């Protein structure tokens, strides 16, 4: 049973990583990296390492996504009230 | 050609990793020193959380190195990003009711959770690093929601400096007491109580405050937009 869950989580991580590479929308790619970290958190819990899982959840899923999103905002690719279309266009221009 | 070589490298790495992981049974790493620490750690340090007893008791100086790495990283970030940024006061973008109300609800919860994780680092999973990041996120959320507000950098610097200095001071006090640098001293107390494990909770409090202040400063640096910068890049 545990093996099955781990298999599922690894597949989710792979899909998240692929999405982060292939997505044109950079904000969505940032969210995809969070998905990778979140699945990794669950794997750490299954491996009975709650301390590491906590760090991964806080730093990997929370803080790094926040820093990436802020970086996008600073570069002018993402603004708070920007529609999706123009975001993709700007990301394509970079 | 370059792509071919990177492909070759990736395949080799994958092969190596699959061999390494194929030999190991899942979730049971080959422990050499772990057994000894598991048997002794609770008696030696008084901390119920074995990870904390390793991080601060057995490997305290590694933690100090980790802190200095974090400090260097945040200093470099500040150097690159924070060239006397003046936050735009006039920029009061309306970020929407849902984000504002959600932040007002989340702020106290994040604060309590962060402090809990820091202060119970020697009893339950978690500790200074995780709790510190949570605290930084809690104090950063209002900045994210109301772009006009700025964080007091002076206060952050004072907190960070005091926390780092107290970490080293506790280590030097241990030296003064006749032990090694950063060796836990004080009364070990009853394992499982909040006031136990000697100096470990104090050290973790210092770590938490330092990490929180550093990351809050870094996030604040990142979030303040400079006038006209967007036009240059976009």
For A70, the token pair is 């802020």
User: Rounded to an integer, what distance in angstroms lies between the CA atom of residue A34 and that of residue A28?
Assistant: 10
Q: Which of A52, A54, A91 to mutate to test the interface with B (most CBs of B within 10 A)?
A: A54
Q: In which band, very low, low, confident or very high, does the pLDDT at A9 lie, cut at 50, 70 and 90?
A: very high
Q: What is the CA radius of gyration of chain A?
A: 15
Which tens digits make up the pLDDT trace of B175-184? 888 777 877 7
Q: Provide DSSP, B1-66.
A: -HHHHHHHHHHHHHHHHHHHHHHSPTT----SSHHHHHHHHHHHH--S-HHHIIIIIITHHHHHHH
Q: What is the ipTM of this complex?
A: 0.72
Neighbours of B10 (CB within 10 A): 10
Total tally of structural domains belonging to chain A: 1
Which tens digits make up the pLDDT trace of B20-71? 877 777 666 666 777 778 777 777 777 778 888 888 888 888 888 888 898 8
Q: What is the pLDDT of residue A87?
A: 61
* DSSP at B227: T
User: Rounded to an integer, what distance in angstroms lies between the CA atom of residue A65 and that of residue B168?
Assistant: 32
Q: In which band, very low, low, confident or very high, does the pLDDT at A24 lie, cut at 50, 70 and 90?
A: confident
| Residue B229 with chain A: CB contacts under 8 Å | 74, 76
Domain of residue A12 covers 2-93
User: Rounded to an integer, what distance in angstroms lies between the CA atom of residue B125 and that of residue B72?
Assistant: 27
- Verify whether the Cβ–Cβ distance A66 to B130 is below 8 Å: no
Helix ranges (DSSP H) in chain B: 2-23, 34-45, 50-52, 60-81, 97-119, 128-145, 153-176, 200-223, 229-233
For B103, the token pair is 């932040």
Across the range A32-59, mean pLDDT stands at 90
- In this complex, the residue of B95, B130, B229 whose CB is nearest that of residue A55 is B130
- Verify whether the Cβ–Cβ distance B233 to A93 is below 8 Å: no
Q: What is the pLDDT of residue A39?
A: 92
| Residue B234 with chain A: CB contacts under 8 Å | 75-77, 90, 93
Which tens digits make up the pLDDT trace of B71-129? 888 888 888 876 655 555 445 566 778 888 888 898 899 899 989 988 888 888 888 88
Residue count of chain B = 234
């Amino acid at each position: 049973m545990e093996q099955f869950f781990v298999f599922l989580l690894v597949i989710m991580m792979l899909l998240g990583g692929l999405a982060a590479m292939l997505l044109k929308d950079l904000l969505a790619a940032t969210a995809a990296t969070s998905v990778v970290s979140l699945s990794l958190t669950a794997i750490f819990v299954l491996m009975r390492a709650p301390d590491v899982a906590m760090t991964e959840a806080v730093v990997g899923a929370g803080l790094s996504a926040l820093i990436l999103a802020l970086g996008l905002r600073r570069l002018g690719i993402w603004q708070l009230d920007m529609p999706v279309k123009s975001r993709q266009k700007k990301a394509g221009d970079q | 050609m370059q792509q071919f070589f990177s492909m070759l490298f990736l395949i080799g790495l994958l092969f190596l990793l699959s061999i390494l992981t194929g030999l190991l049974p899942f979730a049971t790493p080959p422990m050499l020193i772990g057994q000894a620490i598991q048997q002794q750690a609770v008696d030696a340090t008084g901390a119920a959380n074995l990870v904390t007893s390793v991080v601060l008791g057995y490997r305290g100086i590694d933690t100090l190195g980790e802190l200095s790495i974090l400090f260097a990283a945040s200093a470099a970030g500040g150097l690159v990003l924070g060239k006397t940024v003046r936050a735009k006061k006039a920029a009061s973008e309306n970020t929407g009711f849902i984000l504002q109300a959600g932040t007002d609800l989340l702020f106290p919860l994040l604060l309590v959770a962060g402090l809990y994780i820091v202060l119970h680092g020697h009893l339950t999973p978690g500790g200074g690093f995780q709790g510190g990041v949570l605290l930084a996120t809690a104090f950063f959320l209002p900045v994210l929601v109301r772009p006009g507000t700025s964080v007091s950098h002076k206060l952050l610097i004072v907190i960070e400096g005091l926390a780092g200095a107290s970490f080293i001071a506790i280590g030097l006090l241990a030296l003064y007491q006749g032990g090694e640098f950063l060796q836990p001293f004080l009364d070990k107390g009853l394992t499982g109580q909040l006031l136990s494990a000697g100096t470990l909770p104090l050290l973790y409090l210092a770590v938490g405050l330092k990490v929180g202040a550093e990351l809050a400063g870094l996030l604040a640096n990142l979030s303040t937009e400079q006038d006209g910068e967007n036009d240059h890049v976009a």
